[in-house]
Structure 1
Amino acid sequence: MIRTLAAVVSLVALAAGPPASAQKSAAQYDERPAKLAPRDEGYGYTRRVADIPMRDGTKLHTVIAIPKGATGVGMLMTRTPYDAEELASTTPGIYASLPGSDDTDQDPITASGYIRVFQDVRGMHKSEGIYMMNPAPAGSPFNPTKFDDSTDTYDTIDWLVKHVPESNGRVGIIGISYDGFLPLMALINPHPALKVSVPMNPMVDGWRGDDWFHNGAFREEMTEYILSQEGTRAADTKWRTNYADDYDYFLKAGSAGAVGKAQGLEQLGFWRKITEHPAYDRFWQEAAMDKVLAKQPLKVPVMLVASLWDQEDIYGAPAVWRALKPKDANNDMVYMSMGPWHHGQEAGEASTLGAIKWDQDTAKYWRRNILAPFLAHYLKSDSPPMDVATVSAFQSGANRWQKLPTWPTTLGGAGGGGVPLYLKPGGALGFDAAAGPVQTRDYIADPATPVGYRVRPDKPTYATGSTWRQWLVDDQRGVSGRPDVIEFETDVLTQPVTIAGTPEVHLTASTSGTDSDWVVKLIDVYPQGLTGDKTMAGYELGVAMDIFRGRYREDLSVAKPIAANVPLKYGFALPMTNHVFRPGHRIMVQVQSSWFPLYDRNPQTFVPNIFFAKPADYVAATQKVTVAGPDESYITLPVVK
């Protein structure tokens, strides 16, 4: 068949695709707009977005929610690495129950009509610039830049008071966890318009007792967070394993360094810093906010908020209290609230924590009766008076809120010191020392079968069904009976024992290895039998529990081998508590040498850096705890008499 020239041209054109005009018009059929402009109708506020320039020209993405018709109202800001747009639109509680939402009548912050400001920190989500995890203040050898979260907060507030005419020029800052670290940074050279700061469960000292280490033991379960947070600007990197049980995954991976290599963490600057600084050296000390703020003048009223069962940042708020309260000469600048919560639970519903019932929604009470009047006093133009105690403390056991004039600023109880509770032969525990010669309780700690911190299966931290938020109140009977966990228990109490402060461990122990971890738990044992809540019969509630890595016994900043088979003294503080051991209950102490995989395993052979311990370094060791004689082990309890 002979084709005409016109037919050939037509076929060539078809092969080449539609003409350019047709290609351009295809975009007209896209049903999505290039950029959606959200409407505010029905939400009771006007939403503005600003990319606010910092002193170096970097622009930080900021969402400003202004109640409709507002005039002369205070501004309440939350700076975050967790996506300002998300917090401003979907997160409940203190963050975004904005006027017009279903939760407005439940949220005293919203009811007060504040202008809410949400900002992505430098380098995260829609903000420009570089990102560093909880960086030290500018000018530190570990932050040689000329900016930090304090300068960025100052510059943001300066812009807000000039560009939000609906405000009264008063600004507060509030946030939880990382968002709680940022209100602390705001206290460094604060802007004059900053009138109040509320750090809630703040990240304060990543080595002593918050996210990354506790007394030198690395919190291995936090590796997933590190990957997600630093992997991309959008914080969307997924943690992937072939295991449903973290216990199996971390045990078979080997060292924490091996886990990091398997997940590609060596690409992340913060991971490299962690593995390069396993001891409490200048890297950690210069970033510790309690130490930083201890050197600053006290200019802004602060309410520190602590959770008594904070699974992530249990150390921070009490440490800042100890640093700041001595500066508060008139007792009107530094306040503290402590509730029976997991990390951040004060922003939601809190009538229970795990199996424990508090007989009330403790978080709603706190938000309405403590937080709301505190903020109003500093942010409202008429500065309404507030009836807020210096310390608002929930007393577990008695299950009641207390208004206290003060709280200890030293470890232990009021004025330091406390009452010794002795570990005794035969598993006894009591306030009188054991008689007779030196005796020990022995056990074998084997890194091949470490003691778990949760009943298995230990689901990944952020997996569906994970009990990560409640593990601190899990029933400690889950490890009772293991040969590598030793227990000491009082007789049934006939009188209440009330403690308020920081218990301190005084452990005398030896190990056949050259390094060792020591885990000590102070536990409230519920009555057996048929009285009270039968579902709680015999329950073992951890009141204060923590770990200490033995290589730092002499100096937290320098790792040293432990002398094998020599009884040595170890001293460390347990987390702050405010608890009543009621009549009919018992007090228990458990001692063990692993808490896995919350903390990485100690190989029990001294190596320069445990992150990179080899399989052959992990050896079983015989542990001996002294329970009688002149160096008998004990816990100092901050007993209230």
Structure 2
Amino acid sequence: MSKATLRSALLALACIYSATLLAAPPSDIRHGNVTPDMIQTGSDIPGHWKQPEGNFDYVKREVMIPMRDGVKLHTVILMPKHAKNLPIILNRTPYQADGCAPNNSPHMVDAVWSGLKDFANGTFILVCQDIRGKYGSQGKYVMTRPPRGPLNPTKTDDTTDAWDTIDWLVKNLKQSNGKVGMMGSSYDGWTVVMALLHPHPALKVAVPESPMIDGWMGDDWYHYGALRQINLDYFTDQMTARGSGKSVPRENYDDYTNFLDAGSAGAYADAHGFKQLPWWNRFAAHPAYDAFWQLQALDKQVAKHPSSVPTMWLQGMWDQEDIYGAVHAWEALKKAGHGANNHLVIGPWWHSQINRDGWHMGPLKWPGNTTAQFRRNVMIPWFNHYLRDTPLKHSLPEAMIYNPVEKRWDRFREWKVASNQKLTPLYLQNRFGLGFDKPAGGSDSYVSDPAKPVPYLPRPIPAHDTDRWRTWLVHDQRFVETRPDVLSYVTPVLTKTVTIQGAPIADLYAKTTGTDGDFVVKLIDVYPGTYPSDPKMGGYELPVSMDIFRGRYRKSFSHPSPIPANEVQQYKFRLPTVNYEFKPGHRIMVQIQSTLFPLYDRNPQTYVPNILFAKPSDYRKATVTIEHGESGHSAVLLPVVESANTGR
């Protein structure tokens, strides 16, 4: 027999053997050491898995807490083992309560997310809850559900849900001391403020961090009527699914191209299915500051319904998302006579950076981890004071605001609200000068072309570029200084320090050939041409405070009106609050432009009833003239103080 014939015969025998083996029932298997216990006919996933947690230093519970209307809210409780007489820290969120402890670790400090690590030290019970209609909670989700009243005819809101949650916690967590503190950032900050409108007696202390307070005036949705259109992704992220939705799909890598090609913000939204979203339809129907916005502005609400709960209003000096809310809520309470239990804190941070590391802000480096230091040295002792009655080494002043130039915290026994500031005009001058002396006369013009808007960052501007988004407010402004549609005014080199503490006010006198238009004003610190201690900062144009104003609202935020073409009008608006020193050797610059794209939607510069739905033919070039003479002395009004008044 040949080798080939032998191989064929053996192969045939092997096939017959295998077929016989496979056909045999398990009881007949006797070959190859296969026994019945090796065969699984069901699923390898057990019906219930319980992780051994004998070495865990905490207990994690998930409960459904009932609200007064029967809706149950998914709540995650993290409790140190052997907990006894511990206070509770509550966070209510639309961003998934399970995210408070994303890591499967036997150690509580390693299990929680960065914002809770300093509180996961075995001395607090940590509670996170999904708000109505999100993730594991029952009920219907409503974006920043308004307080009960004209906009919310139901019997529940985030105020009642916080009350009911706290009531359940203090009655059912026998390991607690019956005292609760609340904290949370951004939307979570909104839920803290809502809880303060009618707080449960067990709520003893609160820290709203960068809270959403007034979405039209200066937080997430608009700034003085100009739409922050890149936040449209938030609509689909938040409202297309009970859990996390998807962002708007992009045709191009560069969002500058995406939004420019789309035309109006409304056209962009319509093309991506936004008419399916009830919130968008309500939102789009109210472009002006009417009752829809005013009745859910929480700075107005807290002034009407002040609480006695000690509250720390906290935000970042360069908060790129909610730079308006905390300051204005604190000011509203102080003006209403409730400053004693309300404190303002502004750190050198981007939005919600308080919950992460704080070694630097873009190119600005600090002499330590400012956020961790603040949490450990200020926040936790402050919580402990009101939740455990422990004494404070240093009482919290009325305001505690970081000085980013001297790189230190300044403490103020009194911090003036913007309406009580003493202001010093810094005037625009001839030949693009800037100074404290009133100018003799003159004006400067530029052509604002909606087809070529000024970018807010150097292109390309990809969607979801987190690092650039977080720090765009400190980006070097030299990238636009030479554009013909950007006017840059600058002082001579300073010979002494100019210290400002408060909110600068833009005060422009301008005319335009259009019937509408936007005005962007930037207050900038120009570094010396060479800067030996940090060479890359040589000549850096650091934005200190900036904002945008939609011209149709120059007389009334609730009743817009066309701009009379070629007539000088006054545009006066507040810039974000700062504590800053312009040092000798530096210069102060003011930049003025009409677009900040694609962050804000383009003004067509032709008056239309609703800019969200402007037609392509409405977008027209306009010549904008800034006056600094007899027709109006344009200036930025600065809250200048003597250098010695640092408030330390």
Q: What is the aligned counterpart of 2:429 among 419, 424, 429?
A: 424
| Distance in 1 separating the partners of 2:378 and 2:54 | 32
Deviations 1:145-191 (A, max 9, x none): 11100000000000001100000000011000000111100011110
Question: Pairwise mapping of residues 484-523 of structure 1 onto structure 2 (< 5 A)?
Answer: 484-523=485-524
Call closer, same or farther: CA 1:64–1:514 in 2, change over 3 Å: same
Call closer, same or farther: CA 1:104–1:395 in 2, change over 3 Å: closer
Q: Aligned with 1:487: secondary structure?
A: strand
| Distance in 2 separating the partners of 1:226 and 1:104 | 26
- 1:344 and 2:352 are equivalent in the alignment: yes
| Distance in 1 separating the partners of 2:40 and 2:285 | 52
Q: Aligned with 2:299: secondary structure?
A: helix
Question: Pairwise mapping of residues 270-281 of structure 1 onto structure 2 (< 5 A)?
Answer: 270-281=279-290
Q: Which amino acid aligns with 1:154?
A: W
Q: What is the aligned counterpart of 1:84 among 88, 93, 97?
A: 97
Call closer, same or farther: CA 1:367–1:249 in 2, change over 3 Å: same
- 1:309 and 2:322 are equivalent in the alignment: no
Q: Which amino acid aligns with 2:594?
A: S
Q: CA deviation at 1:32?
A: 3.0
Q: What is the aligned counterpart of 1:98 among 105, 108, 115?
A: 108
Deviations 1:215-238 (A, max 9, x none): 000001100111111111002223
Question: Pairwise mapping of residues 520-531 of structure 1 onto structure 2 (< 5 A)?
Answer: 520-529=521-530, 531=532
Q: Aligned with 2:302: secondary structure?
A: helix
1:5 — aligned with what?
Answer: none
2:36 — aligned with what?
Answer: none
1:595 — aligned with what?
Answer: 596
| Distance in 2 separating the partners of 1:565 and 1:245 | 35
Q: CA deviation at 1:359?
A: 2.5
Are 1:508 and 1:632, in contact at CA under 8 Å, matched by a contact in 2? yes
Call closer, same or farther: CA 1:106–1:280 in 2, change over 3 Å: closer
Deviations 1:535-565 (A, max 9, x none): 1001111100000000111110012110000
| Distance in 1 separating the partners of 2:372 and 2:288 | 40
Are 2:426 and 2:636, in contact at CA under 8 Å, matched by a contact in 1? yes
Q: Aligned with 1:467: secondary structure?
A: helix
Q: Aligned with 1:50: secondary structure?
A: strand
| Distance in 1 separating the partners of 2:53 and 2:335 | 47
- 1:585 and 2:586 are equivalent in the alignment: yes
Are 1:392 and 1:401, in contact at CA under 8 Å, matched by a contact in 2? yes
Q: What is the aligned counterpart of 2:450 among 422, 447, 454?
A: 447
Q: CA deviation at 1:298?
A: 2.4
Deviates further, 349-358 or 442-451:
349-358
Q: CA deviation at 1:313?
A: 0.1
- 1:321 and 2:334 are equivalent in the alignment: no
| Distance in 2 separating the partners of 1:400 and 1:607 | 48
Q: What is the aligned counterpart of 1:122 among 128, 132, 152?
A: 132
- 1:335 and 2:343 are equivalent in the alignment: yes
Deviations 1:71-114 (A, max 9, x none): 0010000000000011233499xxx9934659999943223610
Deviations 1:515-550 (A, max 9, x none): 000000000111102533111001111100000000
Deviations 1:377-436 (A, max 9, x none): 01125566653323221011111111211211234xxx323110001111000011112x
Are 2:531 and 2:537, in contact at CA under 8 Å, matched by a contact in 1? no
Question: Pairwise mapping of residues 233-632 of structure 1 onto structure 2 (< 5 A)?
Answer: 233-327=242-336, 332-380=340-388, 382=390, 386-411=394-419, 415-435=420-440, 437=441, 439-460=442-463, 462-463=464-465, 467-529=468-530, 531-629=532-630, 631-632=632-633
2:30 — aligned with what?
Answer: none
| Distance in 2 separating the partners of 1:233 and 1:478 | 41
Q: CA deviation at 1:502?
A: 0.4
1:4 — aligned with what?
Answer: none
Deviations 1:295-318 (A, max 9, x none): 013221100101000000000000
Call closer, same or farther: CA 1:91–1:237 in 2, change over 3 Å: farther
Are 2:190 and 2:211, in contact at CA under 8 Å, matched by a contact in 1? yes
Call closer, same or farther: CA 1:253–1:106 in 2, change over 3 Å: closer
1:153 — aligned with what?
Answer: 162
Call closer, same or farther: CA 1:72–1:419 in 2, change over 3 Å: same
Q: Aligned with 1:588: secondary structure?
A: strand
| Distance in 2 separating the partners of 1:87 and 1:272 | 32
1:6 — aligned with what?
Answer: none
Q: Which amino acid aligns with 1:529?
A: T
Are 1:80 and 1:119, in contact at CA under 8 Å, matched by a contact in 2? yes
Q: Please, what is the CA RMSD of the aligned residues?
A: 2.2
Deviations 1:558-593 (A, max 9, x none): 121100000100110001111111111110000000
Q: Aligned with 2:269: secondary structure?
A: helix
- 1:190 and 2:196 are equivalent in the alignment: no
- 1:208 and 2:217 are equivalent in the alignment: yes
Call closer, same or farther: CA 1:42–1:509 in 2, change over 3 Å: farther
Q: Aligned with 1:372: secondary structure?
A: helix
Call closer, same or farther: CA 1:84–1:306 in 2, change over 3 Å: same
Call closer, same or farther: CA 1:33–1:91 in 2, change over 3 Å: closer
Q: CA deviation at 1:31?
A: 2.9
Q: What is the aligned counterpart of 1:111 among 110, 118, 121?
A: 121
Normalising by structure 1, we get a TM-score of 0.91
Q: Which amino acid aligns with 1:566?
A: E
Q: CA deviation at 1:27?
A: 9.8
2:146 — aligned with what?
Answer: 136
Are 2:193 and 2:298, in contact at CA under 8 Å, matched by a contact in 1? yes
| Distance in 1 separating the partners of 2:388 and 2:452 | 58
Q: CA deviation at 1:326?
A: 3.7
| Distance in 1 separating the partners of 2:625 and 2:115 | 57
Deviations 1:462-498 (A, max 9, x none): 24x6511111011111111000000000011111111
Are 1:44 and 1:99, in contact at CA under 8 Å, matched by a contact in 2? no
Aligned residues: 605
| Distance in 1 separating the partners of 2:382 and 2:228 | 35
| Distance in 2 separating the partners of 1:360 and 1:335 | 24
Q: Which amino acid aligns with 1:433?
A: K
| Distance in 1 separating the partners of 2:43 and 2:572 | 67
Call closer, same or farther: CA 1:183–1:598 in 2, change over 3 Å: same
Call closer, same or farther: CA 1:272–1:50 in 2, change over 3 Å: same
2:181 — aligned with what?
Answer: 172
Call closer, same or farther: CA 1:546–1:40 in 2, change over 3 Å: farther
Call closer, same or farther: CA 1:27–1:631 in 2, change over 3 Å: farther
Call closer, same or farther: CA 1:90–1:318 in 2, change over 3 Å: farther
Call closer, same or farther: CA 1:628–1:190 in 2, change over 3 Å: same
2:57 — aligned with what?
Answer: 44
| Distance in 1 separating the partners of 2:607 and 2:48 | 58
| Distance in 2 separating the partners of 1:340 and 1:501 | 15
Are 1:75 and 1:117, in contact at CA under 8 Å, matched by a contact in 2? yes
Deviations 1:16-73 (A, max 9, x none): xxxxxxxxxx996433344554554544211111100000000000001101111001
| Distance in 1 separating the partners of 2:278 and 2:185 | 24
Deviations 1:297-347 (A, max 9, x none): 322110010100000000000001111124556x54111211010001111
| Distance in 2 separating the partners of 1:278 and 1:423 | 32
Counting aligned pairs with the same residue, the percent is 46
2:21 — aligned with what?
Answer: none
Q: Which amino acid aligns with 2:330?
A: W
Are 2:109 and 2:117, in contact at CA under 8 Å, matched by a contact in 1? no
